[in-house]
Homo-oligomer: A and B are copies of this chain.
């Protein structure tokens, strides 16, 4: 449009004619599709010079202005311009599928598709952009067919624009090639540059790239719309970040470079991941979107019977707080291939010892948990961190005070599994060298799930946590694990992109600030009202909620951190932060003191037939109801920000005519996440689908409700 204004008479008329021809030609090539419900409209055009561009509207409002598409290639003509459109095919698709685990029983995959074939005359190369327009948003990807003129190529940079039409409010993390463990900053886009420096807090491995670089999933709000930008199906490519032009509010893709600066090394036929834009005028719709999952391939694992959601406890928070240690001794500078632990002096603070692990196993068995995670069970923890050490762990040798055979026997006798922990310290070749042996070890002793960790810089140096080489690694681990029927919960790995649809043994990821940061200075009080709109868009998070002793100093007098949440909200997180893998992260001794509140953690499901987002506003509050898998019970969670609020919900989602007992775990009077976090009140109510509920949430608080059919 701006261009047209420049073309008013008075400008050089020959240029006018020439450009007008192009515009007419472009206009002639414009392709449009609408979402199934017709509320979203996608337009694809070739701009001057054969530059492909796309724009998106929602209910007639602009979501994205024309943004250009293309890729810069290394040492050859880029796939950015000089294109003509040689085909455009349309297709509609409507299919429902059932996830192995999930928020709902059945997911509808319903879209209208436009595939535009672009040919670059100068190179005789062909590229295809495939758009899928859903009621809840848009996904598109680049496709590179097998062709003589393009076999192997290197992406120097992907140049995909997301052209916002204003200075939206953004919920953002600094763009970083190695970590997402930053506090979310809430600001207008124009304020990003000014707030970046303070936003980049220290991490064990971090590589920011720009004063206006942002992570995905990026949540935006502007012009009455909620917009989420992310990617789906990240396979054999590097992770995408966004570079903000804070004059024009155009975001452009920035891929993660490898050790020589290549962003992706590809061979045709091949595909980029999907670039996703979820959009609605209701925040709740963003949370209910299944677009990212739908854009992933169906499960490649045929027999998924061994994949089960997991509720677990773990020898973990006591190390995170500093009450006990991962390491068995206080030695430093050890070498795995020469140390003899039987000759070392134990430090007396080792958490993963036989007695303590049995305490957790007993607790898990008593309260019906599936598993006990044990960290620090294996040799090497004295000297694992920040050293770029290659042979840092062997994944199979227990410390002298961890009897792997006896503890697994003991756990199994009580119908509990021990959950394996593979911290790699970022030394990925070492991990891959030990992978078969490590999984065989797990099979031998009866472990069926592993938490992996990638703390610190990637070794060999030069690689980043999110580059193509590492993406390939994470996916390799997933497929290897599947061969051994092992479920994976990847920490410090790349943020998920819905890949759990394809590899449903990926039951968890970290990839954001989890509960551990409550012991490292704390998470913002609104953190858990933002995560569902950002990090969780890609897949479940192993947030590890359930901290009842919110003062860390109670465990470690040297640690003054506190959990920025009321106790009641800790319960709510089991519902608001969806995951098929949920931990009760606090210590058994603490839970034993609050068994009334703990009852909710025992009751809450980890797999669901249905989900309703009852209230939602990013950064302010989230209230979600979920129906337990195969049961009539519902569970409701609500989390609010530092201001507190009164939540009003309608239980109309309950089955009409049925009677239920609601047990409400609420903040106590005068509760406050900082000043009075542990006060809570539990009450019971009889409810039906006609019930409405008003519930106060304290600052940094929330509530949890179990809704059980009466008589059950």
Contact = CB atoms under 8 A, between A and B. Distances in A.
Interface of A: 146, 151-152, 258-260, 262, 265, 267-268, 332-333, 335, 387-390, 429, 432-433, 436, 460-463, 469, 472, 476
A387 B432 CA distance: 24
A152 B332 CA distance: 11
A484 B74 CA distance: 42
A151 B389 contact: no
A152 B268 CA distance: 43
A-B CB proximity, top 10 nearest? A259-B462, A259-B259, A151-B333, A260-B461, A260-B462, A152-B387, A460-B469, A462-B462, A265-B388, A259-B460
Contacts of A333: 146, 151-152, 267-268
A389 B268 CA distance: 12
A628 to B, nearest CB: 40
16 contacts: A146-B333, A151-B333, A152-B333, A258-B461, A259-B260, A259-B461, A260-B461, A265-B388, A265-B390, A267-B335, A267-B387, A267-B389, A268-B333, A429-B469, A433-B476, A460-B469
B390 A462 contact: no
Interface centre among A333, A463, A469 (most CB of B within 10 A): A333
A401 B335 CA distance: 49
Contacts of A152: 333, 387-389
Contacts of A268: 333
- The interface centre, meaning the residue of A335, A460, A476 with most chain B CB atoms within 10 A of its CB, is A460
Given A268-B333, A332-B151, A258 B476 contact: no
Given A151-B333, A152-B333, A267-B335, 6 more contacts: A259-B460, A259-B463, A267-B333, A267-B389, A460-B460, A460-B463
A146 B333 CA distance: 8
A389 B151 CA distance: 11
A433 to B, nearest CB: 6
A332 B267 CA distance: 11
Contacts of A390: 265, 472
A460 B429 contact: no
A433 B476 CA distance: 10
Given A333-B146, A333-B151, A335-B267, A460 B387 contact: no
Given A333-B267, A333-B268, A387-B267, A258 B462 contact: yes
Contacts of A463: 259, 460
Contact of A429 (B151, B332, B432): B432
A365 to B, nearest CB: 37
Nearest to A428: B429
A495 B120 CA distance: 46
